[in-house]
A and B are shown apart, each in its own frame.
Chain A
């Protein structure tokens, strides 16, 4: 497949180009523009850090990456459960084991996500142009709550039925009951195993890229002022 230089419009061949022969890709079009915009924020060479500032040497900064580790376990065990089905996870020893792995890794995910939230809240992690990073984190938190809730609804046991019946009135009171029907197992299952996990995972990837593009926020009261912020306004503030 030959890449094109514009949206549906191939780049014009050079004047001396021969029809039917490959021509050198012109550095233009939306693909190059997107690539340039992305690499200006975070180059591939800086995607994975080899060094971190000294102030990152604290256990508080471990909470975020532990949350990601828990998410990996959640997704991996969830894939096994989706593959094998409810009859397996309710009746076999191995199914119980993977069911428990899924449940407890979700508990770890939420516990460490909240600890990460505390650390960023009291450290004012939204400073110096990081407001979008904070807001994406908030959205991840909300998405995760809905994902976990739908997980409780699709256990396929009396517990999930009890939760669904009781939650029906609560969700109806929000006005969302007409679309988000907790008694509709197919809808809840589809949301839980596909749409919501994909949403959470993509948002987490975006969140990590945001953190990597700006680096970890400096501690409050840190006397160091980088050259780019001389004059009191950060060069990145408008981005």
Chain B
């Protein structure tokens, strides 16, 4: 934990591995939020969900 993170370098892109993993997880989470069905079904009016 106290050692520097490994860095990945492609051309002008320089990013640490933890940051790259985090971005990948966020993108995966965002795509999952778009395609995973919401409980109680979409198109059902009158739910108590917040935005």
Contacts and interface: CB of A to CB of B under 8 A. Distances in A.
Contacts of A58: 33-34, 38, 42
Interface stretch (A48-56, A76-84, A160-168): A48-56
B51 A211 contact: yes
Contact of B33 (A53, A56, A115): A115
A53 to B, nearest CB: 7
Contacts of A111: 22, 26
B42 A115 contact: no
B9 interface: no
Given A60-B34, A119-B30, A53 B50 contact: no
Contacts of A51: 45-48
Nearest to A63: B33
Interface string A34-78: 000000000000000111111111111111110000000000000
Interface in B17-41: 22, 26, 29-30, 32-34, 36, 38, 40-41
A74 B50 CA distance: 21
Band of interface residues on A: 20 to 34
A57 B32 CA distance: 14
B48 to A, nearest CB: 6
Given A59-B36, A63-B33, A115-B30, A49 B43 contact: no
Interface in A108-163: 111, 114-115, 118-119
20 contacts: A49-B48, A50-B48, A51-B46, A51-B47, A51-B48, A52-B48, A52-B49, A54-B43, A54-B45, A56-B51, A57-B42, A57-B43, A57-B44, A57-B47, A58-B34, A61-B49, A62-B33, A65-B51, A111-B26, A115-B29
Interface of A: 49-65, 111, 114-115, 118-119, 211, 216
Interface of B: 22, 26, 29-30, 32-34, 36, 38, 40-51
